[in-house]
């Protein structure tokens, strides 16, 4: 059996579990080993996890940079913003949204909470099509917060109390530092009106996150502005999720395993580039597809993992019965 066939038969769930565990430990504790991947990571390596983090989520420095006075931002100094963005793009283009499915510490944490729910034998929740259609826009709203609130600060329309507004709302700020024993972010800051509003909302969202992740798979990813930001540049990535519509029988297996309830993965038999804005590129759909070559993952145009009958049979434990 060649390497390609071995990869196609891989147990994606197990591979992903160990990969996520490693990535989580690396990003959350790597700082203790002096690992520093910089400030432009396209994932929630939270900068508030001060000592432990091995790099910083790009949304934090982006908000800092955009909050410069406009006279600086729209001058030669503003080029530094482009420098940080270029680095973010480089990181992102390599792995596309697999940053979410394999590396994001907050995503991994949600998968672990889902595992806990399964142990309790509780069924998961899902959104109706109408709810899905409405809620999917929230992440774009939060992306606007990431970009426009700092710009309004730079233009002196808002005070610096509203600085890093999204980070104040993000549950990663409260939850990731906990893994290094740091509870300092669990607070409401009354030093100003802006801080009070943001930190109160942040604490409320942290509570939503914990309960929501328990009931709904990848609860927060659906609202994640990083996911929306990724999707803007997803077409440029070297890493692609492709679908061969002619080979699809629309059996719906891919949709049923999808943590983000992305319906077009099953229904759309026309698009080739099937990556959607909510996708986290976890590859569960490829692993669950029983049709030879209907779904595949390409890197630089070369297929590295695709759905095969053989792989499907192995993963479903049907090989032994045959």
Partner 1 sequence: MLKPIAKILLCAALPLTAEAALWFSDQPPDKRLMKDMKRSHGGHVFMENEVYVKQLWLRKGESLMESAYAEPARTDFKLVDTKQVLSVPDTLESGGHSAIRFKMPDEGYYNAYYSERSVENGVLKVDAAKAEILKHNCRLGHNYDRALVNPNRWRDAPLDIVRLRLPDEDFHTRIRSGNLLKFLVLHQGRPAAGAKVRLETQKGWINVTRTDAEGVASFQVIQDNFPVEEDEAERFVAKPAEKEAAGAEKPADKRAGKKDGLQTEDGEPSKWQANKEAGEHAEHKGDHSEHKEAASRWGGDRREDHFLVRVDYQTDEAGSYQGQAYDKIHYSAAMTGSYAPNVQVSQSKSLGLIYASAGFLTVGVGATAYRRRRIKPFKEVDFDER
The site for partner 1 (CB under 8 A) is made up of: 34, 36, 38-39, 61, 64, 72, 77, 80, 84, 125, 159-161, 163, 174, 183, 186-192, 194-195, 199-200, 203-212, 214-215
- CA–CA distance, 276 with 55 (Å, rounded to integer): 27
Nearer to partner 1, 59 or 289 (CB): 59
Nearer to partner 1, 20 or 39 (CB): 39
**DSSP 3-state of 241:** strand
Shortest distance, position 159 Cβ to partner 1, whole Å: 5
Shortest distance, position 185 Cβ to partner 1, whole Å: 9
Closest Cα to residue 182, out of 315, 28, 318, 293? 28
Shortest distance, position 303 Cβ to partner 1, whole Å: 37
Shortest distance, position 130 Cβ to partner 1, whole Å: 14
- CA–CA distance, 48 with 303 (Å, rounded to integer): 38
Per-residue b/e over 246-283, b at no fewer than 16 CB within 10 Å? eebeeeebbbebbbbbbeebbebbeeeebbbbbbbbbb
Contact 48, 178 (CB under 8 A): no
- CA–CA distance, 172 with 178 (Å, rounded to integer): 10
Kindly state the tokens that stand for 266.
Answer: 């099953």
Shortest distance, position 134 Cβ to partner 1, whole Å: 16
Nearer to partner 1, 122 or 236 (CB): 122
- In degrees, rounded to 5, the angle at the alpha carbon of residue 177 between the alpha carbons of residues 174 and 179 is 120
Shortest distance, position 142 Cβ to partner 1, whole Å: 16
Nearer to partner 1, 94 or 215 (CB): 215
Nearer to partner 1, 80 or 94 (CB): 80
Nearer to partner 1, 67 or 279 (CB): 67
**DSSP 3-state of 71:** helix
């Amino acid at each position: 059996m060649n390497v390609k066939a071995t990869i196609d038969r891989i147990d994606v769930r197990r591979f992903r579990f160990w990969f996520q565990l490693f990535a989580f430990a690396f990003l959350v504790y790597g700082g203790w080993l002096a690992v520093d991947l910089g400030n432009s990571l396209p994932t929630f390596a939270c900068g508030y996890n001060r000592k432990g983090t091995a790099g910083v989520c790009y949304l934090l420095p982006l908000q800092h940079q955009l909050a410069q006075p406009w006279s600086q931002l729209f001058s030669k100094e503003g080029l530094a913003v482009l420098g940080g963005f270029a680095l973010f793009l480089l990181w992102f283009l390599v792995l596309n949204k697999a940053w979410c499915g394999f590396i994001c510490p907050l995503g991994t944490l949600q998968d672990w909470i889902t595992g806990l729910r399964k142990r309790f034998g509780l069924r998961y929740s899902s959104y109706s099509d109408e709810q899905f259609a409405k809620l999917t826009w929230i992440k774009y709203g939060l992306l606007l917060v990431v970009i426009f609130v700092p710009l309004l600060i730079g233009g002196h329309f808002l005070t610096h109390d509203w600085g890093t507004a999204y980070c104040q709302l993000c549950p990663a700020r409260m939850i990731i530092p906990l893994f290094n024993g740091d509870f300092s972010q669990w607070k409401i800051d009354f030093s100003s009106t802006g801080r009070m509003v943001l930190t109160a909302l942040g604490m409320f969202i942290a509570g939503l996150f914990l309960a929501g992740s328990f009931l709904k798979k990848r609860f927060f990813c659906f609202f994640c502005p990083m996911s929306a930001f990724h999707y803007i540049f997803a077409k440029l990535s070297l890493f692609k999720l492709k679908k061969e519509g002619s080979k699809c029988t629309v059996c719906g297996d891919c949709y049923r395993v999808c943590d983000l309830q992305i319906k077009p993965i099953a229904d759309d038999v026309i698009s080739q580039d099937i990556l959607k804005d909510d996708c986290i590129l976890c590859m569960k759909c490829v692993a669950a597809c029983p049709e030879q070559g209907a779904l595949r993952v390409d890197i630089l145009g070369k297929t590295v993992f695709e759905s095969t009958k053989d792989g499907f049979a192995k993963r479903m434990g049907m090989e032994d019965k045959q």
